[in-house]
Amino acid sequence: MFRVGMGYDVHRLVVDRELIIGGIKIPYEKGLLGHSDADVLLHAIMDALLGAVAAGDIGKHFPDSDVKWRGADSGRLLARVREIVEERGYQVNNVDGTIVAQKPKMAPYIPAMREKVATILGIEAEQVNIKATTTEGLGFTGTGEGIAAYAVVTVAKRMV
């Protein structure tokens, strides 16, 4: 049996923060503001996976009111979400993510992001697709105020 999940996340761009997307540090004059490292792509993937197995969302599992998640590495959080998926009897089948950002250009970093996500989820890089788009200067992403990400995943019931 297959199940599908969809995730979305957005964070504001600010100075004096590192820009981490897909688990990869990207050189840029601004970074994403958030309680953790604010990795929008990994957050969208986590919400998609949790949704696919009806396990709530990242706010339920990693609330921003809990200081232990302050500055947390989202790769660590994604690894925990993978455990939740497996505890519910599923395995990750594929991930399709979209980063929405006017700047910086994401293309040079996408292969490393795919590898990073695949490694954390224990799947092959061929099971992970990541792409990026702009909004042609429109909206908060187009004006450089923030970056958003969408993710769709499928999970399959593990065979015993």
140 known ligand binder = yes
Closest to 32 (Cα-Cα) out of 150, 111, 145, 152: 145
11 known ligand binder = yes
96 known ligand binder = no
141 known ligand binder = no
**Residue whose structure tokens are 């395995």:** 91
66 known ligand binder = yes
| Total count of domains within the chain | 1
When pLDDT is cut at 50, 70 and 90, the band that residue 156 belongs to is very high
61 known ligand binder = no
147 known ligand binder = no
Closest to 153 (Cα-Cα) out of 66, 42, 77, 26: 42
Dist CA 146 CA 155 (whole Å): 30
CATH of residue 144's domain is 3.30.1330.50
Range of the domain at 15: 2-157
Residue-wise pLDDT for 115-148, tens only, equals 999 999 999 999 999 999 999 999 999 999 999 9
2 known ligand binder = no
Q: Is the pLDDT of residue 153 over 90?
A: yes
**Claim: this prediction has a pTM higher than 0.85:** yes
What's the pLDDT score for residue 130?
98
Burial class, 133, CB count within 10 angstroms (exposed 0-12 / middle 13-18 / buried 19+): middle
27 known ligand binder = no
Burial class, 16, CB count within 10 angstroms (exposed 0-12 / middle 13-18 / buried 19+): exposed
